[in-house]
């Protein structure tokens, strides 16, 4: 799968490089002949796209390197760095176009458009739209942010070329030069797109919340094991596109043996890896009281106390140890609650006051997955 993905990314990037170099050559030629700064800038933009695709190829090859002692989880995250570079190139192209468009407004130049100029511009727009659709689709198919960014940039280029074409037609018919003003508007659009792509790349490097459907599906799959009463605290570490290592807690009866739990854990790990490609390297256990009805009643009472407070998303891992006189459980408080620590303390105090004979151990968990 990894080799197939790498081949798709590289092949798509090579197609993009070839297309952009050809377009850049034609546009540079007609731009010089027509004395059009807009067309010349469009050609330069095509060259920057070719550079982006080269960077994507380099990043994909480096990301495909096998794990080693220094980087035991592989080099997959390099792709996020290259997608950031590609995004920065998009932003730079937008800023450059904006600056040159403003210069053209201040110091307008007389352009000399011809029919062949229009034909090449139309051909370039068609090629760019087709290229954008193709590259973006391939990027989504193989989960490559770099390809998606390149595809989006191709769409932006097509829009930029449309503005140049429209300006040329208006100039030829009415003698009115608008290309610089249209260039300013489209430059702002491209800059906005570049900033959004940079934000997405930075988010991926910082680490983002697990995609909701994936998290819910994995937890649902885990609870299909008849001995598992619940799955919580699912954490997935992203080491590149579709490359997850993670951990999870499961609730099981306190009557199960270590051997039983070991078998359950192994079955879960194999199932999740096969179905989702996710490596669960750690499966923690919450023991659930099953022997004492009194404990079940205590749990119900504490659950009422916990959920009487606003912002409580979850309570799990409840266990009452009568021998050590300890009550333990975890709670998750919504990030939207500003005073999470205060809410935690209020819950702790209420539970401790109600069950004075017990030591209360409450863990404030982080809302890491749905």
CB of 183 within 8 A of CB of 65? no
Averaged pLDDT for residues 245-271: 94
The answer, yes or no, to whether residue 203 has pLDDT greater than 80, is yes
Averaged pLDDT for residues 252-268: 94
- Give the pLDDT band of residue 357 (cuts 50, 70, 90): very high
Answer with the residue of higher pLDDT: 287 or 183: 287
CB of 205 within 8 A of CB of 84? yes
Predicted local confidence at residue 37, as pLDDT: 67
Q: Could you tell me which residues are beta bridge partners of residue 231?
A: 250
Averaged pLDDT for residues 271-284: 92
- How large a percentage of the chain has pLDDT more than 90? 32
Answer with the residue of higher pLDDT: 257 or 60: 257
Are 2-206 and 212-365 equal in CATH topology? no
Averaged pLDDT for residues 274-297: 88
Average pLDDT, the chain: 86
What tens digit of pLDDT does each residue of 140-193 get?
Answer: 888 787 788 788 878 877 877 787 788 778 888 887 877 778 778 777 877 887
The answer, yes or no, to whether residue 20 has pLDDT greater than 90, is no
What tens digit of pLDDT does each residue of 88-102 get?
Answer: 887 888 888 788 888
Residue 176: C-alpha distances to residues 108, 109, 113, 164, 166 (Å): 11, 12, 13, 13, 11
* Residue spans per domain, the chain: 2-206, 212-365
Q: Could you tell me which residues are beta bridge partners of residue 327?
A: 320, 360
What is d(CA 40, CA 117) in angstroms, rounded to the nearest whole number? 12
Q: Among 39-48, 188-197, 221-230, 321-330, whose mean pLDDT is lowest?
A: 39-48
CATH 1.20.1510.10 for the 2-206 domain, yes or no: yes
The answer, yes or no, to whether residue 330 has pLDDT greater than 70, is yes
Residue 240: C-alpha distances to residues 78, 84, 123, 135 (Å): 8, 14, 37, 19
Give 225-266 as a DSSP string. Answer: STTEEEEEEEEEEESSTT-EEEEEEEEEETT--HHHHHHHHH
CATH 3.30.70.1350 for the 212-365 domain, yes or no: yes
Give 43-104 as a DSSP string. Answer: HHHHHHHHHHHHHHHHHHHHHTSPP-SS-TT-STTHHHHHHHHHHHHHHHHHHHHHHHHHHH
Predicted local confidence at residue 3, as pLDDT: 54
Averaged pLDDT for residues 99-111: 79
Sheet with strand 359-365: strands edge to edge: 312-321, 326-333, 359-365
The answer, yes or no, to whether residue 61 has pLDDT greater than 90, is no
Predicted local confidence at residue 190, as pLDDT: 76
Tokens 């290259």, residue located: 82
CB of 53 within 8 A of CB of 17? yes
Predicted local confidence at residue 239, as pLDDT: 83
């Amino acid at each position: 799968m990894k080799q197939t993905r790498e081949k798709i990314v590289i092949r798509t990037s090579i197609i993009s490089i070839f297309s952009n170099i050809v377009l850049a050559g034609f546009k540079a030629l007609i731009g010089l002949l027509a004395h059009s700064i807009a067309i010349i800038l469009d050609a330069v933009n095509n060259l920057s796209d070719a550079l982006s695709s080269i960077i994507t190829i380099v990043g994909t090859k480096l990301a495909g390197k096998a794990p080693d002692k220094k980087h035991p989880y592989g080099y997959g995250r390099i792709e996020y760095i290259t997608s950031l570079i590609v995004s920065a190139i998009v932003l730079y192209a937008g800023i450059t176009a904006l600056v040159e468009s403003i210069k053209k407004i201040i110091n307008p130049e007389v352009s000399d458009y011809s029919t062949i100029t229009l034909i090449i511009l139309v051909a370039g727009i068609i090629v760019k739209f087709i290229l954008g659709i193709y590259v973006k689709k391939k990027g989504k198919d193989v989960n490559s942010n770099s390809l998606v960014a390149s595809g989006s940039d191709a769409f932006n280029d097509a829009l930029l070329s449309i503005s140049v074409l429209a300006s040329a037609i208006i100039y030829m018919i009415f003698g009115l030069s608008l290309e610089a003003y249209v260039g300013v508007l489209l430059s702002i659009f491209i800059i906005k797109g570049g900033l959004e792509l940079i934000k997405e790349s930075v988010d991926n490097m910082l680490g983002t919340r697990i995609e909701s459907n994936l998290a819910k599906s994995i937890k649902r799959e885990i609870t299909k094991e008849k001995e598992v009463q619940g799955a919580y605290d699912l954490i997935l570490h992203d080491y590149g596109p579709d490359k997850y290592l993670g951990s999870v807690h499961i609730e099981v009866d306190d009557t199960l043996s270590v051997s039983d739990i070991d078998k359950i854990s192994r079955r879960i790990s194999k199932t999740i890896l096969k179905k989702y490609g996710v490596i669960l390297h750690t499966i923690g256990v919450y023991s659930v009281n099953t022997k004492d009805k009194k404990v079940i009643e205590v749990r119900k009472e504490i659950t009422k106390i916990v959920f009487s407070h606003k912002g409580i998303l979850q309570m799990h891992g409840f266990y009452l140890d009568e021998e050590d006189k300890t009550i333990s459980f975890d709670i998750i408080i919504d990030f939207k609650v500003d005073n999470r620590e205060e809410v935690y303390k209020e819950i702790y105090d209420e539970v401790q006051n109600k069950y004075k004979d017990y030591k209360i151990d409450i863990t404030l968990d982080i809302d890491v997955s749905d």
